[in-house]
């Protein structure tokens, strides 16, 4: 079950994502990169960081990392655009539904809300 998780993450990382999420990744990387540059550059130049910055730095950086991860694993168009031969449904941790741990594949919806 876990042996295919690395390749699944790699495939999902390189898949096409929606344009809105692309811009969220760009903004999050800019904010995170700026925070990292401040946190490493100021002490390297002999300065000291304020207490509020030390407290909030980890939160800023982890928030940016979370946004990037969520955006990169969001697949454009849902799963209908993905070639079913490329994914190993049910063989990775990422494909398990938290509510349904019975091991059965999810049932298809009969109604369409479009």
User: What is the structure's pLDDT at 95?
Assistant: 47
- Number of Cβ within a 10 Å radius of residue 78: 8
Average pLDDT over residues 11-26: 82
In a domain, 100, yes or no: no
The Cα angle at residue 25 between residues 21 and 28, in degrees rounded to 5 = 130
User: What is the structure's pLDDT at 72?
Assistant: 83
User: What is the structure's pLDDT at 89?
Assistant: 47
In a domain, 49, yes or no: yes
- In the chain the first and final C-alpha atoms are separated, in Å, by 35
How large is the angle between the packed helices 19-44 and 51-72, nearest 10 degrees? 150
User: What is the structure's pLDDT at 51?
Assistant: 93
In a domain, 18, yes or no: yes
pLDDT tens sequence across 54-98: 999 999 999 999 999 888 877 655 555 555 555 544 444 444 444
In a domain, 57, yes or no: yes
Q: How confident is the model at residue 45 (pLDDT cuts 50, 70, 90)?
A: very high
In a domain, 67, yes or no: yes
Total of domains in the chain: 1
Tokens of 46: 């002999």
Domain of residue 47, residue span? 5-77
Instruction: Kindly write down the DSSP assignment for every residue of 12-59, as one continuous string.
Output: HHHS---HHHHHHHHHHHHHHHHHHHHHHHHHHTT----HHHHHHHHH
Q: Which residues contact 51 (CB under 8 A, 6 or more apart)?
A: none
Does the pLDDT at position 13 exceed 60? yes
CA distance to 5, 11, 86, 106, per residue, from 83 (Å) = 18, 12, 6, 18
- Number of Cβ within a 10 Å radius of residue 109: 7
In a domain, 21, yes or no: yes
In a domain, 42, yes or no: yes
């Amino acid at each position: 079950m876990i042996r295919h998780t690395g390749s699944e993450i790699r495939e999902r990382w390189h898949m096409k994502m929606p344009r809105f999420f692309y811009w969220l990744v760009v903004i999050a990387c800019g904010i995170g990169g700026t925070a990292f540059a401040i946190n490493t550059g100021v002490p390297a130049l002999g300065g000291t960081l304020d207490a509020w910055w030390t407290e909030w730095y980890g939160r800023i950086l982890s928030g940016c990392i979370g946004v990037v991860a969520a955006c990169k694993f969001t697949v454009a168009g849902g799963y209908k655009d993905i070639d079913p031969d490329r994914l190993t449904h049910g063989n990775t941790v990422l494909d398990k539904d938290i509510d349904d741990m019975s091991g059965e594949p999810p049932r298809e919806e009969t109604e369409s809300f479009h």
